[in-house]
Structure 1
């Protein structure tokens, strides 16, 4: 599908935003201007010295594209079928907790924008609304994120709720069992909901549109999926409870238990080691997401794109391999697909777009990726995603120690 005939993009950005929001990089700068600093840094920051955060983006430069324009590509098709979903592009929206801090009703707006664009949305365990609220939008292409909790009964409960609500796949995230040290949040004194110091309060004069949108939302902000009848549901109480719920003692036995319980596609997110990838295939996992949690967990972990080729070799084409982390351009997606990925997920880019344009912003950033992928395919001389292979890339010298 070429850029000229993709599905309609839903609500339209204002002329000013459309003029300025020409790239993900531009959207990030716009979000930085629009959001209070603690909120922006919550989306933008990583763990400790942020080496992995930076490397996730920088490592895509290790791979240079090799165009073959004489192959001819007058029409390009980005469509494919994954996990029972017909997707018009190889970019999906990944799970991001507290998206509702960036725009009211964020999760429901994002799932609508994703489906309008012909792609899919993965709901975060930490959504402001419940997974049932997201399902109630009626949008079909939905995945659900899950963790292994100390209370295995709660793990089963969320999986059963996702099944009852018609989610197409379960995304078991394995790399958040201990919380990363996110030093920007510590420096900012970030809390949920955010509390603003004197300097932040003075700076709020430049953030009035965000404050006006969110003013009524902030006092009632919560983690919808963790609310319990008869128990405190304010977000500070729930955040403190969640901190101790994730189980660092999880093992492959927990994956096996979930595999037996969940009848649909089961995807493992947080895979960086090829041995773990091979083990996942052997245990009946249906898909993998190569991910280091956006550099928010273990600093100095390998970048996602650098880990991808070994994961693809270990899987040997038996299940789809996807990627998140550092994806900022359509060419990044093209490189990942040429190295064997089936699709990429975006997180920060969608939050930045959401921050400046709500649903129209999410539609716009997906449109940016679609157009950039289409342009790259045309200049490479490929007409379908299946034609993207390692011979369309040249591997450059390894990155130095400055990433």
Structure 2
């Protein structure tokens, strides 16, 4: 970090620093969303529009953010969300993220399409973590992944249901990350050339850049076009709730269904045997012009909140945002882009610093709202 840099503190501080450090096509892959990115903006603005109540002259001498999420005893109601290719934003990025989560006592979720495989994360942390999975056409491969996840000590499976096919993420085409032929390749080379710190620390010292969990399925896992071809061929648009019932029979641990936005889908997930649902529009990366996740949270909580744990992601940028989500009935939040911004900005130390900030913001907000424990948060504390 240059002496002329502002010390990064917030998620937005880390975002600005990450934008300077990583090649543009990688930053855009993380920062962008589907089509015109209307839902991406709504995710953030709808959370910001919520107003908390400040209450005074109450004993708040024992404020605690401690909680339990799907059997995981955590320091705060926050989970590091699965992010594809996290390992190319910092050297062996999934390992750094998992270590940061462990030190801050929150769950870490490894993506199916992470750079570091299950076994590497387990060997580096020696602690339980969660695993995210897609429904692929190759069911035998799914079974092998489930076996590997169990062997690695994963306690919770986060199953993504909102990706029968990838959304139209136009930034990835504009910057040459996907397609574009020779001009696209030249554009990527130019972007790499102006990111020397990343090129040395991650591009060279961070190898191998393979999709560790699915490397056996891709002839050259470092070729993003081959990766996209594999993903396009394996995502299963015929998947139904019957497939979730099949998955429930295969997985003995906790099962969280990720990508639910409507109350009837949440009820179907419960009927299929899930232990939790995650209200999510995939970070606005799938269908543009859908509602924000926070806007859909109350309806899902009303529908299934007494039966299963309900979580939310999308637009959470601070501990105060987390408190707002809990007031609307969420058991906790999944944090996606912000932890990767911090990872790209300052590695494991950046992620730990950001998580520390979130916890302090939560505790401070709770004290100023007149509550001591998370159970006291509710819609009555929103204006």
Interval of TM-score (by shorter of Structure 1 and Structure 2): over 0.9
Aligned to 1:171: 158
- The 1:16–1:275 alpha-carbon spacing in structure 2 relative to 1, beyond 3 Å, is farther
Aligned to 2:196: 208
Q: Answer yes or no: is the 8 Å Cα contact 1:83–1:169 preserved in 2.
A: yes
TM norm structure 1: 0.89
Aligned alpha-carbon RMSD (Å): 2.3
Give runs of aligned pairs for residues 288-367 of structure 1, distance below 5 A.
Answer: 288-367=277-356
Deviation at 1:229, TM superposition (A): 8.4
Deviation at 1:233, TM superposition (A): 4.2
Aligned to 1:391: 380
Q: Report how many aligned residue pairs link the two structures.
A: 380
Unaligned runs of 5+ residues in structure 2 are none
Moved more, 210-219 or 79-88: 210-219
- The 1:198–1:344 alpha-carbon spacing in structure 2 relative to 1, beyond 3 Å, is same
Residues 307-331 of structure 1 deviation map (CA, whole Å, 9 limit, x = unaligned): 0000000014211101111100111
Q: Separation in 1 of the partners of 2:258 and 2:217?
A: 30
Moved more, 338-347 or 27-36: 27-36
Aligned to 1:222: 210
Q: Answer yes or no: is the 8 Å Cα contact 2:175–2:188 preserved in 1.
A: no
> Is residue 143 of structure 2 the alignment partner of residue 156 of structure 1?
yes
Q: Separation in 2 of the partners of 1:16 and 1:90?
A: 35
Unaligned runs of 5+ residues in structure 1 are 1-13, 395-403
- The 1:156–1:118 alpha-carbon spacing in structure 2 relative to 1, beyond 3 Å, is same
Q: Answer yes or no: is the 8 Å Cα contact 2:176–2:187 preserved in 1.
A: no
SS in 2 for 1:244: helix
Residues 198-241 of structure 1 deviation map (CA, whole Å, 9 limit, x = unaligned): 66656656532112212315774111111228955444434421
SS in 2 for 1:228: helix
TM norm structure 2: 0.93
Aligned to 1:185: 172
Q: Select the residue among 95, 104, 110 that pairs with 1:117.
A: 104
Q: Select the residue among 48, 54, 65 that pairs with 1:67.
A: 54
> Is residue 27 of structure 2 the alignment partner of residue 44 of structure 1?
no
Q: Select the residue among 251, 261, 266 that pairs with 1:277.
A: 266
Q: Answer yes or no: is the 8 Å Cα contact 2:320–2:361 preserved in 1.
A: yes
Q: Separation in 2 of the partners of 1:91 and 1:19?
A: 26
Moved more, 132-141 or 203-212: 203-212
